[in-house]
Structure formats: structure tokens, C-alpha cells
Chain A
Amino acid sequence: MYPDYMLESIKQVEKTRPERYELSKKYGKQVFPPMNEKERDDILTNFHPDYKDDALTEIKIGPNKGEKLTSAVSNMLESHTRIDPAKFDLNKPDHETDVLIIGAGSAGMSAAITAAGNGSEVLIATKLRLGDSNSMMAQGGIQAADQKDDSPVLHYLDIMGGGHFDNQPDLVKAFVKDAPLAIKWLSDLGVMFDKNPDGSMMVKPGGGTCRSRMHSTRDYTGAGICRVLRDEVYNLPDKIKYLEYSPIVELILDDKGQAAGAISYHLGTKQYSVIKAKTVIIATGGFGRLHIRGYETSNHYGATADGLMLAYRAGVKLSFMDSVQYHPTGAVYPEQILGFLCTEKIRTMGAQPVNKNGELFVYPLEPRDIEASSFIRESTERNLGVTTPSGLKGIWLDSPLVDMINGEGSINKYLPAMYRQYSRFDIDIAKYPMLVFPTLHYQNGGVQINDNAETTIPGLYVAGEATGGVHGRNRLMGNSQMDLIVFGRRSGLHASERAKKGVDFGKMSLEHVYSYEKEVNKINIDKKKIAPILLPDYIPNHVKEKQVDTEYFGTLR
């Protein structure tokens, strides 16, 4: 439960609630005027963390050399390899397959099912278990313009505007056109979408959408999809093999510059394996566990941007790596759930962000970067946030409105995950608001691809959060879930097609690892700094001080 002094502020929230409820009856979601172009520019420039002086750092090596990237990303990319390439006999692969998929979230598994369905042998190598991914944790929804009052054209506009018009147009076009098809594909696989009594999809709006097109499976949308895909992978044992606890640490190319496989590392036995593959799909997800600018994250334990490093070292350019998505509503209290996501669906169902005096200060459904920036402004410049016992700032997300607007019991029915999360700490979000602050959520940018999910390396494909371009510099709610399926399927199909045609391999090679290593050495990087990082390091110093003869190789010992 909240401490007394916070309950005092909650009283203010309760006092203004009836009036704000009336506003919502009158104006729907628009209880506060949305910002225009200039206001958006102003708030981003002044308050978004990406615009701080030290947010970006010029990268000194690799395909994006000379460009300014998010500092933590530049820093990670300027790292040594985990392997000594000389120790590997690439001519004696431990595994051979048509399509190698790195990562087993919804993108990787969509790719696997699609490639297998197209007649290819598939091998998945994943860091933890099948399905262990940010995909599984997504809550709010998945966007597709399949309603009568909507169209792919409007979806396109929303995506471009949300991304500040920097998005890669061919990717966005493919995305909006495939989206309804992806919904059908998922339905046929048995995903339980929320529906109205007549069977039509129960759709909600999302931040930055001009129509209601958010499909959901309660507030377990990611899990609702990802666990079905996982079950389908389990059901195809003859076509899809998988290696768990086996992150990929380097790609293998051939001397013609084509993708030819990868090297995996088993987290348990510490063995490396050589995998030969006709085509390779990177579906490794994002970078939340880099804790950019010290932010807490809503991301999975394994979200360490491995795919960026793999592709970058092999010579593929990254797009939009100067932007980071902070989700406006991460939990700041109780402390045990710091940084955990409070789904945007709470706002799409009518919850309003208010300051410590219970006042509205922003349209609840601005695109995420705008919404997050306005939370930061409210609790810094305006000093109208609520301070937690450990000194963090937060904004109230007035969740009891959800039940007032949608009927009693709606929170329990449509937001069971959120309700349970807070109940564990004796907070009933149907009665009390939630204290939130932006949390590090999503990697807007990533590896550059075309609309077939291909990179500039023949035979190398990328799908999902690891890619950059679809979302420009800011992703809207529900478009990542769709991204996983659309480009997961596209990558699976095209990788499978290439594998079926037959690849004329040259000599298997790790030459790219050697040459990148030379560059790294030139800029004098600490020998112990290696990437892919694989897992974050949460071992406290008091332990490390006593590990007198323990070697840490990167973050792993």
C-alpha cells in the first residue's frame, strides 16, 4: 500500500476525479488538447532524453562510422569479439540447416513457422528458452487497419507522423498492407483476440492513432500471441529444431560475402558450436538491458541488443540508432516493480495522467515520446510530480477511471496482468491510481533492411525489434507486435525461398571478425569489453570484491 504522504496526494486526485470523469463523457479520449507540430517539437527538444547533450556519441568504427548514435549503443558496438576466430574449424559444422533463426520471440518463431511451412528445415538458436523475449511481455495490443472506418492509408499516416516522418516508406507500406493478413494468420493459429458479442474485433485506440485499431488478448497480448507461436513450434518437431540457452556470438559469412551460418555459445556448458546455414535470420530483439542513461527498463533479462552487434560486425548498417523509446508509464512505486510496464491500454481504456494536485496536463494518448517528455516536464521543470520514499519522481496514472468509464470490474477483466501485478503489493488499481514515470522500453532503430527483411549481406535477414526503419524515431503502441509478425513472416518466407533455390557457397569465413577486431584495437578498447553482451551484470560490488580470482569476460564469468 502507499505510504501516508502519498495518500494525501491521492486525495487531491480523488477530488478532481468526478470533474475529469465528466470531461471524458463529454470529449471521449480528448480530455486535454493534443499538441500541434510546434508544441511537439518544443517538448521533445527540451525534455526528451534523446536531446540531452551527451545522449549521442560519434561511433569511430564500422559501417556507421562518423555518425552520432545513442551513446550506450556506440559504446557497445566498439567492443571486442567473444571468440578467437582461429580456434574454429568452420568446415566441421556441429549443425547444418536451411534457415538459421537467431532468437525465439514472436518474430523468430513467426519466421520459423513460415519457413517450415514453405518447406525449409529450420534451426532456432536462442539465448534462454523458446518464447523468452520482450514479445511475451507486451500487454496492450497489436495494430491492424481491418475495421470499416479505417484503412491502411490512415495507418500509414499514423505511423509516419508518430515516427516524425523519418520512417522508411517501403517498410511502412509493406507493414500496413500485411497487417490484417497477420491478424487472420494469428486467428487461424488459435490466438484468442478480444471480441465483441457479435464476433467483431474489440478494438481500442492507441497513443497517436486516429482510429481504434488496437486488437488485444486482454492485457496479455504479447503472451497471447507468443505462447501460441511457441506451441506451434513445439508441434512441428520434424521441421523446426531448436537450441536453448545458446546465444549466437558471431555470424559466419563465406568468402563471397554471403551469410553462411553462425557460432553459438552454450550458457550452461560453455561450449561453442559451429552452425552452417543457407540463410540466417536475426530476430534478437532490443536493447533495454543496456540501461541507457541509467533508466530502469521494462525489457526482458536478455534484451542486450546482440543482433545489432552481430550484424554491425558483419558489415551491415544500422538505421535510426540515435533514438530511444521511453515508455511514458513505467512503475516507480512499489520499488520491487521499478521500471515495469504499465500498459498503454490503461490509458486507451480511459485512465488519465495527472500531477500531484490531480490536474490534467497532457492529452493521454499522445505518441509515446511526446507523452513521456511531458511527464518529465511535469515532474522536473514544473515540479508537480510525486516523490517516492527512495527519491524517485512520478506522475499519477488515474486508473480507477477505467472502471467508471467501462463499468465496474473492467480492470479485472481486461487488465488482469496489471491488476495482479499491483495486488501483489496490496494496491488495488481499481481504487487507487498508479505512480508512473518513463521507463526504457524500445529500440526504435536497428539493422537496416528492405521490405523483404533482407540486409545488404545476401542471405542475411533481420526481423522485429532488431531492425530499424518501420517506426522511424518513435514507435506507436501496438506496432511492435505487428512488426514481429509482418517482418517475421516476410523474413521466414524470403529466407526459405533463397535456401530452396540453393546457395552457391564459397569458403566459410570469419574474416569480418578479424577485420573488425583490427578496427577495435586501433581505438584502444579495453580487452575485457566484449559484445554481444548476452546478459546484463547485476552482481553487486560487495560480491565482486571477494571474487578475488574470478575472471569476468564481458559481463559473464
Chain B
Amino acid sequence: MKMKENMVTVYIMGEAYDVPDSSTIITAMEYAGFQLTTGIGCREGFCGACATIYREKGDYKLKGALACQTVVTDGMTLAQIPFMPSEKPIYNLQEITADINTVKELFPTIFRCVSCNTCTKACPQDIEVMDYIQALKKGNIAEAADISFDCIRCGLCALRCPAEIVQYNAATLARRLYGRYLAKKSPEVDESIKEIEDGKYDKELDDLTKMDRKTLSEKYYSRETKLR
């Protein structure tokens, strides 16, 4: 009982193709006959491989999107940005500090931000990109890590930035600094490691590995469940 598809015309790199109106940009390109090897990845909005820029009919705005997450519209004209040239500073996370000095040293370009907010407008994840760059400028790494959390590194922010900042690399640094240095420590993890290293569970585990299926099954179904 599949319903009949309505067709729309999309312009892929300027060329017109008729595709079903329920297509995403990726499936539209495949429907048109392209076998994609770049500009494609997870197809579910997690990998950032399929960054695309497009304009819709009658709209002056150049928009950014993930091709796998965006449904085509009639008259849409688009081009994929399968790769974003960028400088990534090399650092040893274990030897840097979680403060503004690290940010200044590794990402001096962020101090060129003119607060135009074009990055935010370009972000297909609706991240307030400018806000996290501004947070970094103030040395607020925790805030930058939090705001940028959903970044999938598609590169569209950097593509549109007039100050030529590579926002997503700065965001990666902020999150790693937060995870490594600023997040509160979880002592229970170290304690459990110590118990294991001290051999506390060795005998019990060894016994389990040798246990016959029936005994193991009984032990499994009779174990107590305590969920938080």
C-alpha cells in the first residue's frame, strides 16, 4: 500500500534531477544515480560527513544542512562540502592546563571573532556556536564544553566564519579539557580498579568461567536485581 510518490526538482551542483519529495538530500542523490564515496557516512546525523550548503527557491539565504537529515524541497539547489580544510593544533592533553592561556596559545584565531553569529546560523545541529566561542574567549571552558556538546564536526561553521576560526577544533579542545581536568573526579572508579587489581574477584570469576551451563543459568535467574 505504498503511496504514490510526488516528484520534485532539485539542482545538484546546478544540474536538475527529479526525485521523490520524501527524499533526504542523500537519498535524492542516490535516486539520481550517484554512488557516493565522499560526503557520506553514518546516514543518521552523527558523523558530520555529509555537510551540504543549499538555497531554497525564492530564498536569498545560504543554508547549511546534513544531507542525511534534510528533506528536499522543490527547486532546492545544493552542493556538498565533503571536506573542510582546517588547521588543527597538535597538543598533549596531559601536559596542558585547563585555562585561558591554553586557549590563547592553541586557538589565537578565536580572538578575531566579531560576534557576527554566522557560525550559529550555519550549524545543522542548532548549536549556539558563537556563544561557545565567546565563552572560550572569556576562559569559560566548562561553558564552551557544555554548549558545544552536540557538535559532530561537519565543518559548516568554519566554512562560513569571516574571522576564519575553526570552531569545532576549539570545541573539541574545550570538551577534552573539561573531561580531563574540570569535571569532578569519580573516586569509585579508582576504587573498583584497585579491588580488581588486588584480585578480589579472581576466584569467583575463575569459578564462573568453569561453571556448567545449568548451574550458571540457575545463578543468573536467581540473581537479585537492584536498579537505580
Give residues in A with beta carbon < 8 Å to B: 28-30, 36-37, 128-129, 131-132, 134, 136-137, 144-149, 151-154, 156-158, 160-161, 165, 169-170, 172-173, 176-177, 180-181, 183-184, 187-193, 195, 197-201, 203-205, 209-212, 217-218, 220, 222-223, 227-228, 231-232, 234-235, 237, 245, 267-268, 298, 300-302, 335-337, 340-341, 389-391, 416-417, 420-421, 424, 535, 537-540, 543, 547, 556-557
Contacts and interface: CB of A to CB of B under 8 A. Distances in A.
A187 B88 contact: no
Nearest to A218: B149
Nearest to B66: A424
Contacts of A183: 189
Contacts of B2: 390-391
Contacts of B172: 227-228, 231
A542 to B, nearest CB: 9
A192 B183 contact: yes
B186 A195 contact: yes
Interface string B188-209: 1111110010000100111011
Contacts of B176: 189-190, 228, 231
Smallest CB-CB A-B distances: 5 pairs: A199-B184, A190-B176, A169-B209, A161-B220, A190-B179
Contacts of A222: 46
Contacts of A237: 90
Contacts of B11: none
Contact of B150 (A134, A161, A210, A220): A220
Interface of B: 1-3, 22-24, 27, 30-33, 35, 37-38, 40-47, 49, 69-71, 88, 90-94, 125-126, 145, 149-150, 152-153, 172, 175-180, 183-193, 196, 201, 204-206, 208-210, 213, 216-217, 219-221, 223-228
17 contacts: A128-B41, A152-B205, A156-B208, A165-B213, A181-B196, A189-B180, A197-B184, A200-B187, A204-B228, A210-B226, A212-B228, A234-B88, A245-B37, A301-B40, A301-B42, A391-B1, A420-B126
A153 B208 contact: yes
Contacts of A30: 225
A473 to B, nearest CB: 13
B153 A201 contact: no
Nearest to B92: A235
Among B24, B92, B209, residue most surrounded by chain A Cβ atoms (within 10 Å): B209
A556 B177 CA distance: 42
Contacts of A420: 45, 125-126, 150
A169 B208 contact: yes
Task: Report which residue of A36, A232, A543 has the largest number of chain B beta carbons within 10 angstroms of its beta carbon.
Answer: A543
Contact of A136 (B46, B209, B226): B46
B179 A193 contact: yes
Interface of A, helix, strand, loop or mixed by DSSP: loop
Contacts of A199: 183-187
Contacts of B42: 132, 134, 136-137, 300-301
A78 to B, nearest CB: 24
Given A161-B220, A220-B46, A153 B201 contact: yes
Contacts of B23: 336
B24 A336 contact: yes
Nearest to B189: A146
Contacts of B190: 184
Counting chain B CB atoms within 10 Å of each CB, the highest count among A37, A153, A200, A218 belongs to A153
Contact of B47 (A151, A153, A197, A300): A300
Contacts of A217: 149
Given A200-B186, A234-B88, A132 B33 contact: no
Given A128-B49, A165-B216, A192 B175 contact: yes
Contact of A184 (B40, B71, B193): B193
Contacts of A235: 90-93
B40 A152 contact: no
Contact of B209 (A158, A173, A218, A417): A173
Nearest to B146: A192
Nearest to A205: B227
